[in-house]
Structure 1
Amino acid sequence: MRACPKEVGDDRCRLGSTVRRKPKGAKGHRLITRRHYRHRRSLYRHGESGFKVKASGPPYGRADDLQRKVGPMAELPVPDGMRCRIVKRFSFDAAHQLSSDPDDPHALKPGHKCTRLHGHTYRVEVIVEAAALTGPGFVTEFGALAPFGDYLKENLDHRCLNEVLPVAPTSEHVAVHLAQWFAEHVQEGIPGRLAGVRVSETPGAWAECWMAAP
């Protein structure tokens, strides 16, 4: 058996069988140990090293081998007293302004910056929870929340919220409105339960609307 190169190490040369590899454009072969090959097999498999490795035995990463390692997908029961949650984030751009009418007891003081027409990139987070997981281990598949995103794009995105909501378009009212819409149009079609909705006008401030516990 030929001696292994110095960069592999003599201690590795004495362990296991050897694998022959050939660099691209090179005339000769170099020998590396099986252990060294296993250590860098991810590089060889993805072609990052530039070498073609030829080894005896079954190839790594076969579907049947992976299936035997992973095993069948099974649900993990949620212990009593625990609940799992998922969060899906959406965004839309819209404008709004709050009232400064002196006859309105709830209006802001004249000159308040929020009384001027302005806009935000709203961030909306939907929180869905469940006491039991379904399918391969889901609270709810994220794709099932797509109708909520469609509603935001079609009815709130690039609009003036004063023309959409029947109340003052504060973040709190937007959160309540979206929670009600979700409960009426999405809730029945998913296994999880809506826990709450968070609406952010800016990265450092938000309003939340939480559903009552069942």
Structure 2
Amino acid sequence: MFLTKVFKFDSAHNLVEYHGKCEALHGHTYRLEVTIEGTPGQDGMILDYGIIKAIVKEKVINRFDHKYLNDIVPQSSSENLVQWIWNELKSPLCGDNYELYQLKLNETETNFVVYRGDQIQ
């Protein structure tokens, strides 16, 4: 079974050593979907949404919202950002009956990356 919580944050960035419009400083309202795979426990839940919210807020949102992303992830492509987020969330979102399954990071409504942590690094 899968459980997903959605977050939004606003950030600025630019692509380094890239020649195109995204080499200039610009911003996005990012949409992050965090999906957990697991089995409901005796309480009928995989994981309380409030716990997911607190972890993602501490590990990602508080660090990325209204910030310049290149200060955190120097080459701040969506691909690099989602891998960085995965590394921050993998351990705290792993328990006896659940684990982090997938992240989906949208830069825009039509541009997004999906990551499951199993891709070649």
Structure 2 partner of 1:63: none
Shift of 1:148: 1.1
Aligned match for 2:104, one of 198, 202, 206: 198
* 1:122 corresponds to: 30
- Say whether 1:162 aligns with 2:66: no
Structure 2 CA distance, aligned partners of 1:95 and 1:140?
32
Q: CA deviation at 1:97?
A: 0.4
Structure 2 vs 1, CA of residues 189 and 129 (structure 1 numbering), >3 Å: closer, same or farther? closer
TM-score normalised per structure 2: 0.87
Structure 2: distance between partners of 1:153 and 1:169: 15
Deviation, structure 1 residue 153: 3.2
Query: C-alpha separation between the residues in 1 aligned to 2:113 and 2:103?
Result: 8
2:79 counterpart residue number: 172
**Residues 33-54 of structure 1: CA distance to partner in whole angstroms, max 9, x if unpaired?**
xxxxxxxxxxxxxxxxxxxxxx
Which has more radius of gyration?
1
Structure 2 CA distance, aligned partners of 1:190 and 1:164?
31
Q: In the alignment, what sits opposite 1:108?
A: 18
Counterpart-to-counterpart distance in 1, 2:7 and 2:84: 15
Check 1:158–1:142 CA distance in 2 against 1; reply closer, same or farther (3 A cut).
Answer: same
Alignment match of 2:49 (pick from 142, 148, 151): 142
Greater share of strand: 2
Give the TM-score normalised by structure 1. Answer: 0.51
Shift of 1:211: 2.9
Task: Tell me if the contact between 2:10 and 2:27 (Cα under 8 Å) persists in the aligned partners.
Answer: yes
Q: Which amino acid aligns with 1:177?
A: W
Mark the runs of 5 or more structure 1 residues left unpaired by the alignment: 1-83, 100-106
Larger relative contact order (C-alpha < 8 A, sep ≥ 6)?
2
Equivalent residue, structure 2, for 1:208: 114
- Using the TM superposition, give the Cα deviation of residue 151 of structure 1 relative to its aligned residue in structure 2, in angstroms: 2.7
Unpaired runs of 5+ residues, structure 2, are none
The count of residues paired between Structure 1 and Structure 2 equals 117
